[in-house]
C-alpha cells in the first residue's frame, strides 16, 4: 500500500509515540510494581498519557516553546508522570474498595 509522504509521516509518528509510551509505562511498572493496571493495554494507556502530560507540564512550567518530549529529559519526566498516575490509580482503587464495603 502506497501512502503519501504526509500520511507516512503521521503513521511513523503514531508508532513512535506508541513505542515510547509503552516503554514509559513498562518502566513505571518496574519502578512501582503493583499489578495494576493489568495487561498491555493498561501499561500502554498509562505510558502514552504520561508521555503527553509530563512533558507538556514541564514545557508550560518552564515556559519553553521548544521542548522535545522524546528525549532523555522527556523520558524522565514521562516516567515521573506515569508514577504519579499509577499512585493516583492505586489511591482511587483503595477509596472505591473502602466505599463499597
pLDDT at 24: 92
Exposed e or buried b for every residue in 57-74, given b needs 16+ CB within 10 A? ebbeeeeeeeeebeeeeb
Distance in angstroms (rounded) separating the CA atoms of residues 99 and 97: 5
Distance in angstroms (rounded) separating the CA atoms of residues 16 and 47: 13
pLDDT at 94: 85
Distance in angstroms (rounded) separating the CA atoms of residues 98 and 43: 25
Domain count of the chain? 1
Distance in angstroms (rounded) separating the CA atoms of residues 53 and 66: 16
Contact 29, 84 (CB under 8 A): no
Mean pLDDT score across all residues of the chain: 85
Q: Is the pLDDT of residue 36 over 90?
A: no
Q: pTM higher than 0.85, yes or no?
A: no
Domain that holds residue 43: 5-100
What average pLDDT does this structure show over 27-37?
Answer: 81
What average pLDDT does this structure show over 42-65?
Answer: 84
Amino acid at each position: 500500500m502506497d501512502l503519501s509522504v504526509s500520511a507516512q509521516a503521521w503513521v511513523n509518528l503514531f508508532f513512535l509515540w506508541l513505542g515510547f509510551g509503552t516503554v514509559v509505562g513498562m518502566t513505571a511498572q518496574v519502578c512501582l510494581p503493583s499489578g495494576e493496571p493489568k495487561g498491555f493495554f493498561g501499561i500502554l494507556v498509562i505510558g502514552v498519557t504520561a508521555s503527553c502530560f509530563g512533558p507538556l507540564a514541564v514545557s508550560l512550567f518552564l515556559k519553553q516553546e521548544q521542548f522535545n518530549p522524546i528525549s532523555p529529559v522527556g523520558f524522565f519526566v514521562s516516567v515521573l508522570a506515569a508514577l504519579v498516575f499509577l499512585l493516583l490509580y492505586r489511591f482511587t482503587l483503595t477509596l472505591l474498595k473502602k466505599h463499597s464495603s
